[in-house]
């Protein structure tokens, strides 16, 4: 919280406001928060990480925080937003389950004078979004693809592509970042795509339109779901010949998908070795990396995102404007943002990046050297 408290302090100084941060965060009196948080599902470890880090940050500062989960249901998400509006919050931090479907909830919040912060995932096709608190998601895909490139030698390496849910704008950003790095290496023969006819048909095109990305993602989506990922990988392996196997390279969009896909590839006798990417530093994936079953993950420090969401909320609560360095087009408007950088993690830097920084305890894992 230190960085944000300093940011907050500067905001307060510049504005010469007598309002304190504590006052700003409260609904009226007591410790009830003027900010409501809606996360997409408890079923994916990523959002449980965010819940934990929000609670840590806010309860440490003395606030009761109510975090609502939409459980992968846009109707429930809208009901969550409406219940927060009814409670009198002034800012809603929302991670949409489905980026476009969340537009109606954001518009309901705006109609009630509530500021809307899109958290991690972009709410699409509406002007009712005030700010986007996010990691640099294109660079997540870049880091994943670069890892595959750095570990490939020669030509003709089998490449299997997987992506997240089409309803999640991030799936497009991750794929775009990965394509930027992989496409030249497909064009020069380093990799050969084995599981997407749409991607193969576009392999000489450096920059894809959203429709082209959607056509590819439609074929390779895990829908952010473990079983979908596993079934798709198994179907791809069944369709592939022995020559398409051997030592393979797998772009997997996140840790849940990575473990599911990795299990399917590991079970195929014609796969001699594989590299597989991920993201989120889920504990189960850190253990997979230690055990040599997943190659890498991308560390998106949720503590930073939570701090950014809180300082952005405070800026609105005291009538200010949060600082932005970028904008993201949500299909309707350019949404201001200040994206946070990410870090590639593999077995060589688990200790320095995750343990030494206090993100995880060494005792969370076995076999860590
Ligand atoms: C997030 C990822 C997460 C995925 C599935 C994406 O929008 O950025 O961190 O793994 O959703 O929940």
pTM > 0.85: yes or no = yes
CB 306, CB 50: distance < 8 Å: yes
**95 Cα to the center of ligand 1, angstroms:** 10
**Rama region for 165: left / alpha / beta (φ>0; ψ in -120 to 50; rest):** beta
pLDDT for res 66: 80
Domains of the chain: 2-135+302-338 (3.40.50.2300), 137-299+345-364 (3.40.50.2300)
Closest Cα to residue 63, out of 91, 15, 103, 27? 27
Q: Pocket of ligand 1, candidates 53, 69, 70, 224: which has the most ligand atoms within 8 Å of its Cβ, to mutate?
A: 224
> Along the 369 residues of the chain, how does pLDDT read in single tens digits?
334 433 343 333 333 333 455 566 665 445 567 999 999 999 999 999 999 999 999 888 777 778 999 999 999 999 999 999 999 999 999 999 999 999 999 999 999 999 999 999 999 999 999 999 999 999 999 999 999 999 999 999 999 999 999 999 999 999 999 999 999 999 999 999 999 999 999 999 999 999 999 999 999 999 999 999 999 999 999 999 999 999 999 999 999 999 999 999 999 999 999 999 999 999 999 999 999 999 999 999 999 999 999 999 999 999 999 999 999 999 999 999 999 999 999 999 999 999 999 999 999 999 997
DSSP 319-331: T-----SEEEE-S
Closest atom of ligand 1 to 170 CA is 7
Q: Whose Cα sits closest to atom 6 in ligand 1?
A: 170
CB 308, CB 133: distance < 8 Å: yes
**254 Cα to the center of ligand 1, angstroms:** 7
- Any atom of ligand 1 within 6 Å of the Cβ of 162: no
């Amino acid at each position: 919280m230190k960085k944000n408290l300093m940011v907050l302090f500067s905001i307060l100084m510049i504005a010469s406001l007598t309002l304190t941060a504590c006052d700003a965060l409260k609904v009226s009196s007591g410790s009830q928060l003027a900010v409501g948080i809606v996360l997409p599902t408890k079923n994916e470890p990523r959002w449980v990480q965010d819940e934990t880090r929000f609670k840590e940050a806010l309860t440490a500062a003395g606030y009761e925080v109510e975090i609502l989960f939409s459980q992968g249901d846009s109707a429930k998400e809208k009901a969550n937003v409406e219940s927060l509006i009814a409670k009198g919050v002034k800012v809603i931090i929302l991670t949409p389950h489905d980026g476009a479907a969340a537009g109606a909830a954001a518009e309901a919040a705006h109609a009630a004078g509530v500021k809307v912060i899109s958290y991690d995932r972009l709410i699409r096709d509406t002007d009712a979004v005030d700010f986007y608190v996010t990691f640099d998601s294109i660079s997540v895909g870049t880091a994943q693809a670069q890892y595959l490139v750095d570990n490939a030698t020669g030509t003709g390496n089998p490449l299997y592509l997987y992506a997240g849910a089409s309803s999640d704008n991030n799936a497009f950003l991750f794929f775009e970042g990965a394509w930027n790095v992989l496409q030249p290496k497909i064009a020069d023969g380093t990799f050969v795509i084995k599981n997407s006819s749409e991607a193969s048909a576009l392999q000489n095109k450096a920059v894809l339109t959203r429709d082209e990305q959607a056509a590819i993602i439609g074929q390779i989506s895990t829908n952010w779901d473990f079983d979908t990922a596993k079934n798709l990988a198994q179907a791809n392996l069944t369709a592939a010949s022995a020559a398409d196997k051997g030592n393979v390279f797998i772009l997997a969009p996140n840790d849940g998908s990575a473990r599911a896909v990795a299990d399917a590839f590991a079970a195929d006798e014609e796969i001699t070795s594989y590299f597989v990417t991920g993201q989120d530093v889920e504990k189960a994936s850190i253990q997979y990396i230690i055990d040599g079953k997943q190659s890498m993950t991308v560390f998106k420090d949720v503590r930073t995102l939570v701090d950014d969401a809180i300082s952005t909320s405070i800026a609105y609560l005291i009538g200010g404007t949060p600082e932005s360095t970028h904008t993201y087009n949500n299909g309707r408007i350019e949404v201001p943002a200040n994206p946070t950088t990410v870090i590639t993690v593999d077995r060589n830097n688990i200790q320095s990046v995750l343990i030494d920084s206090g993100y995880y305890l060494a005792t969370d894992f076995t076999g860590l050297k």
